[in-house]
Amino acid sequence: MWLCTSALPEPLESWESTAEGRTNVGEDLSSPEDPPPESLAGTPRIAVVFGVSLFNYISHTLIRYSTPLYFNALGYPEDTYVNFVFYWLTAFIAGSSFSGLLASRYGERRVWSGSLLLFAGLGLLLIHIPGHWMIPFSGLLYGLSAAGQWVGVMAFVQTVTPSKRGRANSFLMIALGAGSFIGAPLGRLLIGMSSGGAPTPEDFALLFWSHVLICVLGAVLVSAVSRHPGPAPHQVSESSWRTNVALLKMPRYLAIVIPLSLMGGPVFQTVNIYLPYRAGAPEIGLMAGAVDQGWAALLTAGYGFQFLGGLAILLIAGRKAGAGMATGVLAAFAVCSLGIGFSPNAYALFVFVALFEFVRQLMRWSQTGYVSEHMPIHLRGPAIGFSTTLSGLSSTLFAYVIKEVFPPGAPNFSSSLPFFIGGSIGVLGALLLLISNKALLKASPPREQQRSDTT
């Protein structure tokens, strides 16, 4: 979920954008002075969605916090966490499209609740994990369940009445930030209640059982009381592979997504994959085997500034994500990744992780806003969704290559080098975006002309 980190904004945008694009002459549009009453029938109960989402994100952070420590306590090879994240990321990218199809066919609530039960199964598997050979399956299970939860809840929230949609999305982002902020300290507390020193694998059982309980209760609440009585509103997404192919033929679109999505994705994934190894580096010392010596505090600081980044977006939400902003945010994102990789001590690492998570939120906003600003109105939703897909594909490819080139546990392994590679790709992406803004974007026809040419 946190990789998302990166980034699945299409449920937030696509239905609103395509709805705008479908407005045709002759439709029965209500007068602004006399709007039709909004029915709550079949729409989400925001309070229930907020509560379940809050604990849902707590459970995700419990898994992210505990798995590198747990694998060390089990005595697994040092590259175990890298492989776990790779399979998780691969399944998340593939599962996002699959979950969207399931949501269209069976409903958003069923996808969300079913994914929560699948996520509970991950906790049970980790408690009774039979051996290192189950790590790929565990990662795949995590990725599929995370994709279903994210797509399910985001699609479900969009079915609120139009006047409440903005507030519902804001509450969901607050739940994400607050749950993530709580998760790591809670995880340390749950492990510490069972362990008097260096944790053993058995000391993680209380944490994983807590995760299972959160997921099962969440699934029950989503199924039983998360929606007002009545037929559910029908949502339609008009994105298709034909639309995606058309987008790839647009120089304006390529000028944006190549630097922002394809070259920005590796910056996200370097931190997602290698941050535990950076925290455990000798010069940092926040993690020693299965012992947390500041790992929880590092995650909490990062999530706290991620929450502040979300608040900053609320302050600038009405502004356009211009070329200068998009380029500057991508450059700052890459520089923060480089800072994480070359932090000389724990204090510097705290600073760069906090800044990275703050800029991560701005990166999500600028990517979505910049794509939206330069696309015809009827293509905004598909363009945003496909840019996220491209970012995920580049992230998956980068994750595979980087774990083969820099496997933890190899002789002379340095946790700084992956950050140097990922950050350098991001810096090059910012330079390319700066050049493309002056070349391809100016050469493209205005957005209004593009729309008339494609309709």
- Could you tell me the residue ranges of all domains in the chain? 44-227, 241-455
Q: Which CATH class is domain 44-227?
A: mainly alpha
Q: With contact defined as beta carbons under 8 Å apart, do 64 and 188 qualify?
A: no
Say what the pLDDT of residue 3 is: 44
d(CA 328, CA 316) in angstroms, rounded, equals: 15
Task: Return the bridge partners of 44, or none.
Answer: 227
Cβ pair 388, 10 in contact under 8 A: yes
Burial category of 439 from C-beta neighbours within 10 Å (exposed 0-12, middle 13-18, buried 19 and up) = exposed
The end-to-end CA distance of the chain, in Å, is: 36
What is the distance between the alpha carbons of residues 179 and 306, in angstroms, rounded to a whole number?
12
**Of all helices (H) and strands (E), which one includes residue 292?**
strand 291-292
Q: Give the pLDDT score at 14.
A: 35
Classify domain 241-455 at the CATH superfamily level: MFS general substrate transporter like domains (1.20.1250.20)
Residues 14-48: b if buried by 16+ CB within 10 A, e if exposed: bbebbeebeeeeeeeeeeeeeeeeeeeeebbebeb
CA dihedral 313, 421, 409, 124 (to 10 degrees): 30
Q: What's the CA gap between 334 and 330, in Å, rounded?
A: 6
Spell out the alpha helix ranges (H) of 42-107.
46-73, 80-106
Asked if the domains at 44-227 and 241-455 fall in one CATH topology, the answer is yes
pLDDT at 21: 35
Angle at 185 between CA 216 and CA 287, to 5 degrees: 115
- The pLDDT assigned to 37 comes to 52
pLDDT at residue 38, rounded to an integer: 59
User: Which residue type, as a one-letter code, is found at position 75?
Assistant: G
Query: What is the four-CA torsion angle of 123, 128, 134, 140, rounded to 10 degrees?
Result: -10
Q: Which amino acid makes up residue 317? A: A
User: Is 388 in contact with 396 (CB distance < 8 Å)?
Assistant: no
How much is the pLDDT for 355? 95
Is the overall model pTM greater than 0.85, yes or no?
no
- If the chain, 455 residues long, is cut into consecutive pieces of 10 residues, what is the mean pLDDT of each piece? 38 34 37 49 74 91 95 93 92 80 79 93 91 92 91 75 69 82 93 75 94 94 72 52 79 86 89 93 92 94 88 69 80 95 96 94 77 74 76 87 87 90 94 79 49 42
CA dihedral 258, 264, 270, 272 (to 10 degrees): -120
Of 260, 215, 257, which Cα lies nearest the Cα of 120?
215
Residue 224's pLDDT is 83
Element (H, E) at 149: helix 135-157
Burial state string for 130-161 with b = 16 or more CB within 10 A and e = fewer than 16: eeeeebbebbbbbbbbbbbbbbbbbbbbbbbe
pLDDT of residue 195: 59
| Radius of gyration over every alpha carbon of the chain, rounded to an integer in angstroms | 22
Run of H or E residues at 291: strand 291-292
Residue 339: φ, ψ to 5°:
-65, -40
Cβ-based neighbours of 76, under 8 Å, separated by 6 or more: 132, 135
Pick from 82, 60, 61: nearest CA to 71: 82
